Amino acid sequence: MKKVIFLSLVLSLVYRSGNAQTTEVFKKKGYTLTVINQDATFSPELKAKLISTFWKVYPELEKEYNSKTSKKVTFVIDTAYRGVAATDNGRVAFSAKYMSTHPQDIDVVTHEVMHIVQDYGETTGPGWLTEGIADYARYKFGVNNEGAKWALPAYKAGQSYENSYRITARFLAWIEAKIKPGAVKAFDKQMRNHTFTDNTWKEVTGKTLNELWADYTANPAL
């Protein structure tokens, strides 16, 4: 009986240890990154890549878009989250399962921390533009898009600027290349300042949104 109890205790301790949550705090150049890992089997090398990507892209995004962005960020390697990643109030939850099965997709970090930099709150702008700008930031500042086989998709008939994410990001890249360099930065600033309106497109580029989209679909080459 004692052996059974002892074995049960050992198994219980092993189980708890295997599922223990760890917290690490890193400070560098005025930033504080807290990393909470809920997955004891998560690759240390992959975790290191998440961290190094943050140190590479976050200061660049701050410099480009928002000098007042939060200096404190939390990463959570989440065993319960079933999406890819999600950001709220300076906290990024990464699906442990997704990241482990897609270890090259490290620029999930770039997209998600751009949301922290955006800090739009109750913005007057459209949600599809918020996600489009975040994917544009990944396109411009990403460190391993090629390795992840992530790219902006070629235009196809039937697409809409409201499709969000990469489709919108490619439209934004086209605007930057063909119409108005710095347009994305201007859109981002107005979204954060809650001054974005339907007329912002024309104020920034000289054309309405529908005029821009019509020109883009007629000649979408970057």
| Category of 22 on φ-ψ map: left (φ > 0), alpha (ψ -120 to 50) or beta | beta
Q: Write down the pLDDT at residue 124.
A: 77
Domain with CATH 1.10.390.10 in the chain: 20-119
Mean pLDDT over each residue of the chain, to the nearest integer: 92
pLDDT at 8 over 60: no
Question: Taking residues 86-114, what's their average pLDDT?
Answer: 98
Q: Write down the pLDDT at residue 156.
A: 96
Name the band, by pLDDT with cuts 50, 70 and 90, for residue 12.
very low
Q: Write down the pLDDT at residue 20.
A: 80
Q: At 21, is the secondary structure helix, strand, or coil?
A: coil
Question: Taking residues 124-134, what's their average pLDDT?
Answer: 95
Q: What is the DSSP letter of 146?
A: T
CA distance 33 to 74: 6
Amino acid symbol at 60: E
Architecture of the 20-119 domain: Orthogonal Bundle (1.10)
Note whether 29 and 59 are within 8 A (CB): yes
pLDDT at 2 over 90: no
- pLDDT tens sequence across 181-192: 999 999 999 999
Q: Write down the pLDDT at residue 19.
A: 56
Q: Write down the pLDDT at residue 37.
A: 98
Q: What is the DSSP letter of 176?
A: I
Q: Over pLDDT 90: what percentage of the chain? A: 89
Spell out the long-range contacts of 165-169 with Cβ–Cβ below 8 A and sequence spacing 24 or more. Answer: 165/131, 165/132, 165/135, 166/135, 167/132, 168/128, 168/129, 168/131, 168/132, 168/135, 168/136, 169/132, 169/133, 169/135, 169/136, 169/138, 169/139
Q: At 147, is the secondary structure helix, strand, or coil?
A: coil
Q: Write down the pLDDT at residue 3.
A: 37
